[in-house]
């Protein structure tokens, strides 16, 4: 893992540093996020928007920066999650995930580390192509030749969820862990834990709450989006189905 450094610690997590209060349009308010057993809580976050997202193109291992809306999304989700007191933020090594993770870490003084196990899916020769055009040609993105199989994504990312919680516990840290990654990683992870989540949208700048108890993962909240000036947020979808 690549350590990106510890952001400043100018005050307690969630203090007022010039950001407007962020509200959720649906689901539990952030001040209702479960405070019990924080060492077992993980927030799975999708990075902010990039130009390729806005154009409907497959990102994969391409490395576009956050656009103006993406920067606002990163700040908004950072403010929400900072109030839960994260002790560590992990992220994909791609710039869009790193910048989103740094926004979260900056707001609560948590260290940020890049972990290649949370890298986006590799779309091979179709990286940068319009998603709908790839689907029209092959029937699905999965069927396009040279695309990393979903099973391969899960093979690296699923054990990493346990690993980052275990690392925090071994370090004696008491608080939730945040992982900033990509929709092509988040969706299969959530469905592997709870297959009932067939309609995930995973917008940019959204977060999902997972809890591990006794080695068993539970999906608590999905598709949670802070309200930002960039647009309206879709409704949250609470879920309580165990693995």
Three-state SS sequence of 57-105: ECCCCCCCCECHHHHHHHHHHHHHHHCCCCCEEEECCCHHHHHHHHHHH
Is 12 within the bounds of a domain? no
Q: Which of 95, 97, 102 lies closest to 78 in space, CA to CA? A: 102
d(CA 75, CA 62) in angstroms, rounded, equals: 23
Mean pLDDT over 58-67 rounds to: 98
Give phi and psi for 70, each to the nearest 5: -60, -35
pLDDT confidence of residue 172:
86
Domain of residue 195 covers 2-6+22-238
- Its pTM stands at 0.81
The domain tally of the chain equals 1
CATH number for the domain that contains residue 127: 3.40.50.1240
Residue 221 in marked binding region: no
pLDDT in tens, 164-205: 999 988 888 889 999 999 999 999 999 999 999 999 999 999
Which residues are within 8 A (CB) of 213 and not within 5 positions of it... i.e. 6 or more apart? 37, 40
pLDDT in tens, 75-87: 999 999 999 999 9
Residue 233 in marked binding region: no
Residue 232 CB neighbour total at 10 angstroms? 8
Residue 169 in marked binding region: no
d(CA 202, CA 27) in angstroms, rounded, equals: 15
Residue 17 in marked binding region: no
Is 141 within the bounds of a domain? yes
Q: Which residue has the higher pLDDT, 243 or 63?
A: 63
Residue 192 in marked binding region: no
Residue 51 in marked binding region: yes
């Amino acid at each position: 893992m690549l350590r990106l450094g510890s952001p400043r610690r100018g005050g307690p997590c969630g203090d007022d540093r010039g950001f407007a209060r962020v509200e959720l349009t649906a689901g539990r308010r952030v001040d209702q996020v479960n405070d019990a057993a924080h060492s077992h809580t993980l927030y799975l976050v999708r990075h902010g928007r990039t130009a390729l997202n806005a154009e409907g193109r497959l990102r994969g291992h391409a490395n576009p920066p956050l656009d103006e809306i993406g920067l606002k999304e990163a700040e908004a989700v950072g403010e929400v999650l900072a109030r839960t007191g994260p002790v560590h933020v992990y992220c994909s090594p791609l710039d869009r995930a790193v910048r989103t993770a740094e926004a979260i870490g900056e707001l609560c003084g948590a260290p940020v580390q890049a972990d290649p196990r949370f890298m986006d899916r590799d779309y091979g020769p179709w990286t940068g192509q319009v998603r709908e055009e790839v689907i029209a040609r092959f029937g699905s993105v999965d069927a396009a030749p040279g695309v990393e199989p979903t099973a391969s994504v899960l093979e690296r990312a699923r054990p990493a969820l346990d690993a980052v919680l275990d690392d925090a516990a071994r370090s004696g840290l008491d608080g939730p862990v945040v992982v900033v990654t990509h929709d092509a990683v988040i969706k299969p992870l959530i469905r592997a834990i709870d297959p009932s989540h067939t309609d995930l949208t995973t917008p940019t700048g959204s977060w999902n709450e997972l809890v591990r108890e006794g080695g068993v993962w539970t999906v608590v909240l999905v598709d949670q989006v802070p309200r930002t000036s960039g647009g309206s947020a879709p409704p949250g979808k609470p879920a309580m189905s165990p693995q």
